Amino acid sequence: MWGNFSEQFYLNFIQDDRWKYFVNGLKVTLIITLFAVLLGVVIGLIVGVIRSTYEKTHKLKILNFLCSIYLTVIRGTPVVVQLMIIYYIIFANARNKIPIAILAFGINSGAYVAEIFRSGIMSIDQGQLEAGRSLGFNYRQTMWYIVMPQAFKNVLPALCNEFIALLKETSVSGYIALQDLTKAGDIVRSRTFSPFMPLMAVAAIYLVCVVILTQGVKILERRLRQSER
Partner 1 sequence: MKKKVFALTMAAVMAAASLTGCGSKEAETQAAAQETSTAQAEGEATEAEETTEAAAEAEGGVLVMATNAEFEPWEYHDGDSIVGIDVEIAQAIADKLGMELQIEDMAFDAIIPSVVSGKADIGMAAISYDEDRAKSVSFSDNYAGSSLVLLVAEDSEIASADDLEGKLVGAQTGTTGELTATEMVGDSNVERYNSYFEAVQSLLTGKIDAIIIDGAPAKVFLSQNEGKIKQVGDALSNEEYAVVAALDNTELIEKINGAISELQESGEIDTIMNKYIPAE
Binding site for partner 1 (CB under 8 A): 88, 92-95, 174-175, 177, 179, 183, 186-187, 189-195
Spatial separation of the C-alpha atoms in residues 29 and 206, rounded to whole Å:
10
- Closest CB to partner 1 among residues 145, 196: 196
- Closest CB to partner 1 among residues 62, 92: 92
- Closest CB to partner 1 among residues 115, 180: 180
- Closest CB to partner 1 among residues 1, 177: 177
List Cβ<8 Å contacts ≥24 apart for 195-201. 196/8, 197/8, 197/9, 197/11, 197/12, 197/13, 198/12, 201/12, 201/13, 201/22
- Closest CB to partner 1 among residues 63, 187: 187
Tell me the closest approach of the beta carbon of residue 187 to partner 1, in angstroms.
6
Tell me the closest approach of the beta carbon of residue 94 to partner 1, in angstroms.
7
Tell me the closest approach of the beta carbon of residue 87 to partner 1, in angstroms.
8
Tell me the closest approach of the beta carbon of residue 92 to partner 1, in angstroms.
4
Tell me the closest approach of the beta carbon of residue 155 to partner 1, in angstroms.
35
- What's the DSSP call for residue 92? T
Selection from 143, 220, 144, 209 nearest residue 171 by Cα: 209
Spatial separation of the C-alpha atoms in residues 221 and 151, rounded to whole Å:
14
- Closest CB to partner 1 among residues 84, 224: 84
Spatial separation of the C-alpha atoms in residues 185 and 112, rounded to whole Å:
29
Tell me the closest approach of the beta carbon of residue 41 to partner 1, in angstroms.
29
Burial 146-177 (b: 16+ CB within 10 A, else e): bbbeebebbbbebbbebbbebbebbbbbbbbe
Spatial separation of the C-alpha atoms in residues 110 and 218, rounded to whole Å:
23
